[in-house]
Structure 1
Amino acid sequence: MPQTSRRGLLFGTAAVSAGALLTACTSNDPKEKDAPAQSGAPAADDKPGKPVTIGFAGPQADHGWLNAINEQARSRAKKYSEVTLETTEGSNDTAAQIGQVKTLINKKVDVLVVLPADGKALTQVGLEAMRAGIPVINLDRVFASPQAYRCWVGGDNYGMGLNAGTYIGEQLKDRKSAKVVELAGIDNLELTKQRSKGFADALKNYPNIELVARQAAEFTVESGQAKMAQLLQAQKKFDALWNHDDDQGVGALRAIQQAGRDEFLMVGGAGAKSAMDAIKADNSVLKATVLYPPTMAASAIDLARALGQSKGVSGLSELEIPTSLTLYSAVVTKDNVDQYLPTGFN
């Protein structure tokens, strides 16, 4: 599968929340008279402000996570009566997406939110928008130059692997000798490499655990089932499995059930609703999933609105929004699944 596929865009948490204005204040109350004044610009809040038109160039929804990205952006924009969202038809074709972004630039939108099919290939059009005075929120797959965007918002692929490995390590730390296998994503993608590196680094803290097999899949149900079947055939017994993606995890679970294997625990990745439902039911080997939340798209809309209204972020004293926002890869288990279920995607 080519690297520009939207599946390659795959794959920490909730959207930037709204809050009160962070303005300097004074008071005639003697108790507050000597309190230091807060500095900063007005922060974005839920009250309608200046009208803002946001251009959104997102992915074609050929994967559950990518479809959720589009839905999160649309639903968040609807929350604000003064926000108009100009959307393009999602595409994993680089040339087509460049044309779509150029159309949004020509429409003179106030802010652009772009999840590029290929960050490097779309860098030039990001630069074009910035030079035209249209700030760009770069979502997930990063442009090749920081001059091509005002703010980057995305997940933590290394953190996914690190947290998955730490969770597994804690479950197996008391075993004298434990074996772990890894069902990775598309191997030539940087995100897959980062997830695997984080996982390997976490396991270094548990000398009793050995990674005995690693198999790459393609972020699809079909590939998950086929590659998991191969792993099960090659490894007659192991203690834990980390699967990089919950979509391919559906297939992996099918292969596991068909093989009648249940001697190990499984940790998923991304945060699909189906995975959370299985974790809550607690009737399979799937015991946890590590988030790479599509709520990043809602966060991007929040930040774009703040940019368009020349506001900062609630809870921060800064005059401007940050240059980057990396979302946390929380581990969802049966103990906290109810908290995260609303963020699960189909």
Structure 2
Amino acid sequence: MPIPSRRGVLFGGAAVAAGALATACTGNDPADDAPAAQSAAGGGDNEKPGRAVTIGFSAPAADHGWIAAITKNAQAQAKRYSDVTFRAVEPTNDINQQISAVESLISAKVNALVLLPNDGQQLNQVARKAMDAGIPVVNLDRIFPDKLSYRTWIGGDNYGMGVAAGHYVGRRLKEKGVAKPVIVEIQGIATLPLTQERSKGFADALKTHGFSVTAKQDAKFTVETGNQVAANLLQAHKKIDALWNHDDDQGVGVLAAIKQAGRKEFFMVGGAGSANAMREIKAGGLLEATVTYSPSMAASAVKVARLVAQGRGMTDLVELQAPQSITLASETVTRQNVDSYLPIGFES
């Protein structure tokens, strides 16, 4: 998983209906088969073409399934609009190269900029430069510390991911009648705020069921490390009742280690919502659920950037302008609803 920090107004929860963004910010061309377009619906006047705009886009290199899906979702959504020219710069994991790339978009005078920074702190200044130049920035996922550096932030809910996973684990253990469960947690990178938020949400939710985490270790968001960490935890705990893995990409390695060890006495919950994880869930194996942190947020970012650049708001909201921040809800995918989520799952 990437290195974001998530903040904002809950969108898709109590205050705003879950489909508001998709309904309000629709495309005007027929839907294609891209994952980003699966849930698009009619949205009043916003469905009609508006003023032609150019949207610049910059993101890290696609060396991770979730990051690759971010770019694909953004590209697919932009293609839906006859009034949008999508100008993406070369993806890179080098901070200085991304700064230079964003500066090139500023020089090109794009009408809006969708930016997923490698590091929000280090790209804060160039994002502020864009805003000062009159180019609204839609800050995707990894937040800039200076609110003057972005017009709208949109991303997922890390704390909510932990809460969703914790409640699923707690309820399942109660159903199974387990009194003193061994609960194992495999994190991404332990020092990151996003990981700490996920772990806190997990612990808080478990506490409401009378449970706590027995052991946790970080796996660096890689398949290889996920495999190594899972193997170590399996060796250290001869009996496990439940396991939560923060990231479905590293989960490929976690599942491989579990299968290699021949362990079947526990159930597992994943994180992020990869198609690979969803197929495992559908097959009815050890992986019972995953909690979403969907890269479809990139498609929503393009939708918002288009509206902001055209001076339009979301037709399902009373306010005339798009919100300043949008936090997407973390949803729980199980065997019962997996078919509904598979179309927007990303490939690990």
Q: TM-score, normalised by structure 2?
A: 0.88
Deviations 1:243-288 (A, max 9, x none): 0000111111110011110110100000110000010111x21000
Over aligned residues, Cα RMSD in angstroms?
1.9
Q: For 1:315 and 1:217, how far apart are their aligned partners in 2?
A: 41
Matched, 1:17 2:17: no
1:263-342 alignment runs, 5 A limit: 263-282=265-284, 284-342=285-343
242 and 192 in structure 1: CA distance in 2 versus 1, 3 angstrom threshold: same
What's the CA shift for 1:188? 1.6
1:179 aligned residue: 182
Identical residues among aligned pairs (%): 54
Q: For 1:343 and 1:10, how far apart are their aligned partners in 2?
A: 22
Q: For 2:146 and 2:205, how far apart are their aligned partners in 1?
A: 30
What's the CA shift for 1:96? 0.7
1:169 aligned residue: 170
Q: For 2:24 and 2:152, how far apart are their aligned partners in 1?
A: 20
Task: Kindly indicate whether the alpha-carbon contact (under 8 Å) linking 1:46 and 1:80 is maintained by their aligned counterparts in 2.
Answer: no
Q: For 1:106 and 1:121, how far apart are their aligned partners in 2?
A: 20
1:26 aligned residue: none
Task: Kindly indicate whether the alpha-carbon contact (under 8 Å) linking 1:7 and 1:62 is maintained by their aligned counterparts in 2.
Answer: no
223 and 160 in structure 1: CA distance in 2 versus 1, 3 angstrom threshold: same
State the AA in 1 paired with 2:58: A
State the AA in 1 paired with 2:346: F
State the AA in 1 paired with 2:128: L
Matched, 1:260 2:265: no
Task: Kindly indicate whether the alpha-carbon contact (under 8 Å) linking 2:25 and 2:314 is maintained by their aligned counterparts in 1.
Answer: no
Q: For 1:343 and 1:181, how far apart are their aligned partners in 2?
A: 28
State the AA in 2 paired with 1:149: Y
1:157 aligned residue: 158
Larger radius of gyration: 1
State the AA in 1 paired with 2:129: E
161 and 44 in structure 1: CA distance in 2 versus 1, 3 angstrom threshold: farther
State the AA in 2 paired with 1:205: T
Q: For 1:43 and 1:125, how far apart are their aligned partners in 2?
A: 35
For structure 2, the 5+ residue unaligned runs are 7-11, 13-17, 27-42
Q: For 1:19 and 1:144, how far apart are their aligned partners in 2?
A: 28
Task: Kindly indicate whether the alpha-carbon contact (under 8 Å) linking 2:25 and 2:304 is maintained by their aligned counterparts in 1.
Answer: no
Q: For 1:151 and 1:329, how far apart are their aligned partners in 2?
A: 20
Q: How many residues align?
A: 319
Deviations 1:289-314 (A, max 9, x none): 00000010000000001011111012
Task: Kindly indicate whether the alpha-carbon contact (under 8 Å) linking 1:59 and 1:70 is maintained by their aligned counterparts in 2.
Answer: no
Deviations 1:81-108 (A, max 9, x none): 1100110111111111111110000000
2:236 aligned residue: 234
State the AA in 2 paired with 1:191: L
State the AA in 1 paired with 2:163: L
1:124 aligned residue: 125
State the AA in 1 paired with 2:180: S
Matched, 1:196 2:199: yes
State the AA in 2 paired with 1:8: I
Q: What SS is found at the alignment partner of 1:312?
A: coil
Q: What SS is found at the alignment partner of 1:127?
A: helix
2:54 aligned residue: 53
Q: TM-score, normalised by structure 1?
A: 0.89
For structure 1, the 5+ residue unaligned runs are 1-5, 22-41
Q: What SS is found at the alignment partner of 2:47?
A: coil
What's the CA shift for 1:58? 1.2
Q: For 1:258 and 1:44, how far apart are their aligned partners in 2?
A: 55
